[in-house]
Amino acid sequence: MSHDLLIGIHAVEAALDHDVANLVEIYLESGSHNARIKALAERARDLGVKSHARDRAALDRMTGGARHQGVVASYKAPPPLAESALPNLIEQAGRAALLLVLDGVTDPHNFGACLRSAQAAGVTAVIVPKDRAVGVTPTVRRASAGAADRVPIVSATNLARTLKTLKEAGVWLVGLAGEATQPIHAIDLCGPIALVLGGEGEGMRRLTREACDFSARIPMRGDVESLNVSVSTGIALFEALRQRDAAGA
């Protein structure tokens, strides 16, 4: 069985903290004087995770030249959740349900940054289409700073059908679009909400856009046509949190 790689101190530390059962083994730069690497090695040993010393050249080859900071781990990635998991997740979250739908994000750094914001915002689940979107790759995990394995990720075979499932569960769909007339702060984001954002360049696909109950834009004053999807995601999620905190929800 092939395994994914976790690359860098932060990604491996996050796995030790939250997902040690899926860590297969760790490779550490031999002769390193980095105190965090030494602490990580001791922690891995205490948790029963095998570790191996490798020189920097070997780690460079293993990671294809990525910035590994002297730490690489072999990781048995859990599969994404199926669409059938959504009703239970929404029921457990109740009125606090906050979902993020990413329709066709293809850049792994953007997806990782979105997951990081989702984890920070306490999102119930992140929903992505199975096709025409980046999966949870090692680059995504690195960019997410460990969030990729702490946020429930649902892989939707048919996104339009999944959006219908959300509606049937009492979730309102709010799509972000630059041409929308209402600013996002004018829309009530309390209660069960799914924020829907499109991928780079094209934005939301037509069926996704038509499924949304509301459309909102992020107000901008500068001479900028649009924001990066990960930036838009962060703004939208924390506007939802602001409203909920203000309402005591």
Domain 83-247, classified CATH 3.40.1280.10, yes or no: yes
CA 153 to chain CA centroid, Å, is 7
Mean pLDDT of all residues belonging to the chain: 91
Question: Can you give the residue ranges of every domain in the chain?
Answer: 4-75, 83-247
Q: What percent of the chain has pLDDT over 90?
A: 69
Read off the tokens for 245. 């905190």
pLDDT for res 249: 67
Reported as a single tens digit per residue, the pLDDT across 142-197 is 888 778 888 999 999 999 999 999 999 999 999 999 888 999 999 999 999 999 99
Pairing of strands 71-75, 4-7: antiparallel
Torsion sign (Cα): 124, 126, 130, 136: negative
Coil, helix or strand at residue 71 = strand
The correct CATH number of 4-75 out of 3.40.190.10, 3.30.1330.30, 3.30.499.10, 3.30.70.1400 is: 3.30.1330.30
H/E run at residue 17: helix 9-18
Is there a contact between 245 and 125 (Cβ–Cβ < 8 Å)?
no
CA distances from 92 to 66, 84, 150, 192 (A): 39, 14, 17, 11
**Residue 46 φ then ψ, to 5°:** -65, -30
- 140 or 233, greater pLDDT: 233
Single out the residue of 87, 41, 36, 102 nearest to residue 236, CA to CA.
102
Which of 37-46, 75-84, 98-107 is predicted with the least confidence, judged by mean pLDDT? 75-84
pLDDT for res 143: 86
The residue ranges of DSSP E strands in 93-225, in sequence order, are: 98-103, 125-129, 153-156, 172-176, 193-198, 214-216
Reported as a single tens digit per residue, the pLDDT across 1-48 is 468 888 889 889 888 988 899 899 999 999 889 999 999 999 999 999
The residue ranges of DSSP E strands in the chain, in sequence order, are: 4-7, 23-29, 50-54, 71-75, 98-103, 125-129, 153-156, 172-176, 193-198, 214-216
